[in-house]
Amino acid sequence: MGELSELIARHSDDFSPNDRRIADYVLIDTEAVAFASADEVATAIGVSKAAVVRFGARLGVGGFSGLQQIAVAGLRRRLRDTEAAADSGPQGWLRAVVANLERSLTGTGEEAIARAAAILDSGEGWLHVFGQRASAAVAEYAYFLLNPIVPNVVRVEAGESALADHLLDIGPEDRLLAITFRRYAKLTTEVVEYFADAGAPVVLLTDSAAAPAAARATEVLISADETPGPFPTTVPGVFLLEVLAGALVARNPTRAERRRVDAERVWGRFGTY
Confidence of residue 160 (pLDDT cuts 50, 70, 90): low
Each domain of the chain, given as residue ranges in start order, spans: 2-76, 102-269
Mean pLDDT of 107-135: 93
- Where is mean pLDDT largest: 5-9, 92-96, 104-108, 237-241? 237-241
CA separation for the pair 241, 256 (Å, rounded): 16
pLDDT above 90: percentage of residues in the chain: 53
Enter the CATH code of domain 2-76: 1.10.10.10
Q: How far is CA 125 from CA 96, 189, 247, in A?
A: 39, 21, 20
Q: What was the pLDDT predicted at 90?
A: 82
Interval 237-273: pLDDT, tens: 999 999 999 999 999 999 999 999 999 999 899 988 7
Supply φ then ψ for residue 130, to 5 degrees: -140, 140
Mean pLDDT of 139-162: 90
The answer to whether domain 2-76 and domain 102-269 are alike in fold is no
Residue 213 reports pLDDT greater than 80: yes
For the residues of 223-261, what is the DSSP string, one character each?
-----SSSS---HHHHHHHHHHHHHHHHH-HHHHHHHHH
In sequence order, the β-bridge partners of residue 149 are none
Question: Using an 8 Å Cβ cutoff, are 25 and 41 in contact?
Answer: yes
Q: What was the pLDDT predicted at 183?
A: 82
CB count in 10 Å sphere of residue 74: 19
Average pLDDT of the chain, as a whole number: 89
Residue 158 reports pLDDT greater than 80: no
Range in 10-14, 138-142, 170-174 with the lowest mean pLDDT:
10-14
How many whole angstroms from its chain centre is CA 3? 17
Interval 61-86: pLDDT, tens: 888 988 998 888 877 776 666 666 55
Residue 95 reports pLDDT greater than 70: yes
Interval 21-67: pLDDT, tens: 898 888 878 888 888 899 999 998 999 999 999 999 989 888 898 89
Supply φ then ψ for residue 25, to 5 degrees: -65, -45
What fold does the segment set 102-269 form as a domain?
Answer: Rossmann fold (3.40.50)
Mean pLDDT of 92-110: 89
Q: What was the pLDDT predicted at 48?
A: 93
Q: What was the pLDDT predicted at 25?
A: 86
Q: What was the pLDDT predicted at 2?
A: 54
pLDDT above 70: percentage of residues in the chain: 95
Mean pLDDT of 194-212: 94
